[in-house]
């Protein structure tokens, strides 16, 4: 897929003008955005310069997570740490606790590492170029482009899922994702707008956010409101009537089911927990002790991995299982419970925490499900 239509016009000596639907798209998109832009916690009113810290924080949180879920977390983080210097001085444990429930916890570790780097290496000021931003922990090609465009108006087009959908429909990109990403990136860049002739830099951030808003509110995955779209004239997928079939996607391989056991141990009003290793899945998060998570693991093998505790004569298996789906695999956990005497010591690497303060622990959602299943909290 290439820029066929535009290329043909140039070869024929065609000069794009406002009557050309392709040439008019950036201006139409910005005009629509000026009227219909979403009100978001991290987006300042029209005409005000975005705060790079707010843009960065929101972009990290929005990775693989929806706007409705992110909103309360963003406001909570901003209230606790109003700038990158404050976040850079925080402890990783505090950041993980505040992040708990948002998922994909490597983002929280990278968030903290990035704040530390900006504070230590850049005097608390974010670099204002894609190259500089990409040198920071946790910031890849998309995030660096998004921050550069939105916070610093650099002339670049970040491409998220919403933009992929809009562009793939506009140009009927037949190649499936993820192979189509370079083509979609090239096509999306043709939609960058300016505020006046010859101004090559201005409104790049607005163009990107306009496409994001368009995909989120009009060019939706199912039943897109094409009659309301400012770019509906000349939209190839709309003309064909197969909008919902874009973007094309290669079939995903379903991850193999993994199974394991979780051990919910109480000592009076306390719960036995431990911290996961810093690296790997759910790194640094709090969990109840458990077995390995393995494909086709038998319950007997999982039970043999129970923590060694004085006073436990038998484990009580709870009826049912806890299910959770990670990005690459589904998980089923059998939950066993036990009560131990008041003087029972925690095994090495574990600790007792008051059940009443569990909300302050960095518990991932899967562990909250386990605890709720085990003791109803």
pLDDT (tens digit, 9 = 90+) per residue, 165-189?
A: 999 999 999 999 999 999 999 999 9
Q: What is the pTM of this model?
A: 0.77
Q: How many CA atoms lie within 13 A of 246 on its CB side?
A: 27
- For residue 317, give both structure tokens: 């298996």
* Res 305: pLDDT: 95
Burial per residue of 43-53, b for 16 or more beta-carbon CB atoms within 10 angstroms, e otherwise: beeeeeebbbb
Pair 172, 165: CB distance under 8 Å? no
Q: What is the mean pLDDT of the chain?
A: 90
| Catalytic residue list contains 59 | yes
Per-residue confidence (pLDDT) for residue 56, from 0 to 100: 98
Spatial contact of 158 and 204, defined as CB atoms under 8 Å apart: no
Q: Pick the catalytic residue: 59, 270, 287, 361?
A: 59
Please count the CA atoms within 13 angstroms of the CA of 297 that sit on its side-chain side: 22
Position 115 scores a pLDDT of 98
Q: How confident is the model at residue 279 (pLDDT cuts 50, 70, 90)?
A: confident
Band of pLDDT at residue 101, cut at 50, 70 and 90? confident
d(CA 273, CA 74): 28
Residue 283 has pLDDT above 60, yes or no: yes
CB contact burial 112-145 (16+ within 10 A = b; e otherwise): bbbbbbbbeeeeeebbeebebbbebebbeebbbb
Rounded to the nearest 5°, which phi and psi values hold at 351?
-155, 160
Two structure tokens written together for 290: 């458990």
């Amino acid at each position: 897929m290439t820029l066929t239509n535009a290329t043909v016009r140039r070869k024929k000596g065609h000069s794009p003008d406002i009557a050309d639907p392709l040439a008019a798209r950036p201006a139409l998109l910005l005009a629509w955005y000026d009227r219909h832009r979403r009100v978001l916690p991290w987006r300042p009113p029209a005409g005000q310069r975005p705060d790079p810290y707010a843009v960065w924080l929101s972009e990290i949180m929005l990775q693989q997570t929806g706007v409705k879920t992110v909103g309360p977390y963003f406001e909570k983080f901003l209230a606790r740490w109003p700038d990158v210097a404050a976040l850079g001085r925080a402890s990783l444990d505090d950041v993980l606790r505040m992040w708990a429930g948002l998922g994909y916890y490597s983002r929280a570790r990278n968030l903290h590492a990035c704040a530390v780097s900006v504070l230590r290496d850049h005097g608390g000021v974010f670099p204002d170029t894609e190259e500089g931003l990409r040198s920071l922990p946790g910031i890849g090609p998309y995030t660096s482009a998004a921050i550069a465009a939105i916070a610093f108006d650099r002339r670049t087009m970040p491409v998220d899922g919403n933009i992929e959908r809009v562009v793939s429909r506009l140009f009927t990109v037949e190649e499936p994702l993820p192979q189509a990403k370079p083509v979609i990136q090239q096509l999306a860049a043709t939609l960058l707008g300016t505020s006046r002739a010859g101004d090559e830099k201005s409104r790049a951030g607005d163009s990107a956010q306009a496409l994001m808003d368009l995909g989120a509110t009009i060019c939706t995955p199912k039943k897109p409101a094409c009659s309301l779209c400012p770019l509906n004239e000349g939209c190839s997928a709309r003309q064909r009537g197969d909008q919902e079939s874009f973007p094309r996607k290669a079939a995903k391989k379903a991850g193999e089911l993994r199974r394991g056991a979780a051990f919910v141990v109480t000592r009076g009003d306390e719960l036995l927990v431990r911290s996961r290793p810093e690296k790997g899945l759910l790194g640094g998060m709090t969990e109840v002790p458990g077995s390995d998570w393995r494909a086709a693991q038998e319950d007997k093998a999982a039970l043999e991995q129970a923590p060694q505790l004085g006073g436990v004569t038998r484990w009580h298996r709870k009826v049912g299982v806890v299910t959770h789906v990670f990005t690459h695999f589904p998980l089923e956990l059998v939950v066993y419970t036990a009560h131990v005497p008041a003087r029972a010591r925690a095994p090495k690497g574990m600790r007792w925490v008051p059940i009443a303060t569990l909300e302050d622990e960095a518990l991932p959602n899967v562990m909250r499900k386990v605890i709720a299943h085990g003791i109803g909290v």
